[in-house]
Amino acid sequence: MNRTIVISQILVIEQAPGWLVAALNHAIIAGVLLIGGAITMMLQVWVERRLIARMQDRLGPNRVGPEGILQSIADGIKMFTKEDIIPRAADRWVHLLAPIVALAPIAMMLAVLPWGRGLVAVDLEVGVLYIAAVSSISGVGLMMAGWGSRNTFALLGAMRSIAQLIAYEIPLIIALLGIVLLTGGMSLARMPELQAGIPLFGSSIPGAPDLGLGWFIFTPVGLLGGIIFFICALAEGERTPFDIPEADSEIVAGYMTEYSGMKFAVFYIAQYLLNFALAVLSAVVFLGGWQGPGVAWLADAGLGAAASLLSLLWLLLKAWGLFMLMVVIRAAVPRLRVDQLMSFAWKYLLPLALVNVASAALWVGLTEWSSIEWGNLLPVDGLAPWQRIGVAALVTAVINLGATRWVLRINRAPAAAPVVVPA
């Protein structure tokens, strides 16, 4: 990425050797991301508590600092000063390392996300695959926590969480796969760039203004994929209604049962950071990332820094919006049962995600292939790009709608037989 703004270049001394510059670059970017992550997490906790309180007709924390905004810092200090307890039966090292193994991969996820126009820490060619791979590592951390604690509730929680992670990872990745087909690559940095222009048609109509609204969510493929992805993200982040692994009314706190003090805080941070990273990822892949009205206009006017700032604002706005949606869902929806959780993943999300990938392939074929590649069966060469997109949108919309109706119908519960209770 030649347009990537490397923050540390401002600081680096001219004569420094190359490897030192590289190391400093990475250290500074990592520091910014991690400190930003920690601040974000504190804000998230505060927002969640206030919002839920509002929905439940309570006040929520409002004493520490203005409107209680410093409550999370107070909680953090309390966590620091708590006694660090390791159960006598625990597998000491596994128990100790588990929170770190759970947190590290989530911090690694932040590295490849495009935070704004040109604000990319690492532009990985296989970004989407990297996200999927790294997020699957944190499952190992949960397993270690569950096993290392020597506690039945912890082990149950870990098992539940792994079963849930595996079940929902598949539709999540397949939902992303549809977008990978549309963009023709797995680089996350390129995804927002391809979502410029106006809704649905992007920049395919000559002369149309670049509103930065060509988000994939406005296409039929992106809409279905986005919905599937968001549901799976709720499950991956263990948010209600998918918080079965730590269902406190059933198994105390799941894999976190035996953790206290700072180790508990690390799990807590990991969870909120994962939620935020998934929200950012949803925004990047489906909601145009940093694209928004005004970014292209500022960039064209030669105000690159201002455009980057505006794009960062747009991204954070979208991510926070999605996070608040998660919170509202938590307040509004009850927890699923384990069998409902599994059948929802395998019977609803997975078939729909597969249909969506087929739709995406059809979309690519209708918008990009020439007549020869269609074996001269479809005369698509005569159409303008925007006309082809229109046709593709129509076709995929019909397919996706039909598939959704079909999946809902075949999974409908059989008509309940009249239950006659013996007298």
- Contact between 417 and other proteins by CB under 8 A: the answer reads yes
- Contact between 166 and other proteins by CB under 8 A: the answer reads yes
- Contact between 176 and other proteins by CB under 8 A: the answer reads no
- Contact between 152 and other proteins by CB under 8 A: the answer reads yes
- Contact between 133 and other proteins by CB under 8 A: the answer reads yes
Selected binder of other proteins within 150, 312, 325, 362 (CB under 8 A): 150
Could you tell me which stretch among 40-48, 132-140, 264-272, 314-322 binds other proteins (CB under 8 A)?
A: 132-140
* Run of H or E residues at 116: strand 114-116
Nearest-angstrom CA–CA distance, 195 and 217: 10
Q: Phi/psi at 115 (nearest 5 deg)?
A: -85, -20
Instruction: Judge whether 108 and 171 are in contact, CB under 8 Å.
Output: no
Instruction: Judge whether 46 and 323 are in contact, CB under 8 Å.
Output: no
Nearest-angstrom CA–CA distance, 183 and 181: 6
| One-letter amino acid for residue 344 of the chain | F
| Alpha helix ranges (H) inside 112-260 | 127-148, 152-183, 190-193, 220-236, 248-251
Selected binder of other proteins within 69, 79, 124, 309 (CB under 8 A): 124
β-strand pairing of 114-116 with 119-120: antiparallel
Ranges within 177-196 binding other proteins (CB under 8 A): 185-186
- Contact between 158 and other proteins by CB under 8 A: the answer reads yes
Residues in contact with 200: Cβ distance below 8 Å, sequence separation at least 6, in sequence order: 214, 218, 219, 389, 393
Nearer to other proteins, 146 or 202 (CB): 146
- Contact between 162 and other proteins by CB under 8 A: the answer reads yes
CA of 393: how far to CAs of 203, 370, 406, in Å?
15, 18, 20
- Contact between 109 and other proteins by CB under 8 A: the answer reads no
- Contact between 155 and other proteins by CB under 8 A: the answer reads yes
Nearer to other proteins, 155 or 200 (CB): 155
Residues near other proteins (CB under 8 A) are: 19, 91, 94, 124-126, 129-130, 132-134, 136-137, 139-140, 143-144, 146-147, 150, 152, 155, 158-159, 162, 166, 169, 185-186, 416-422
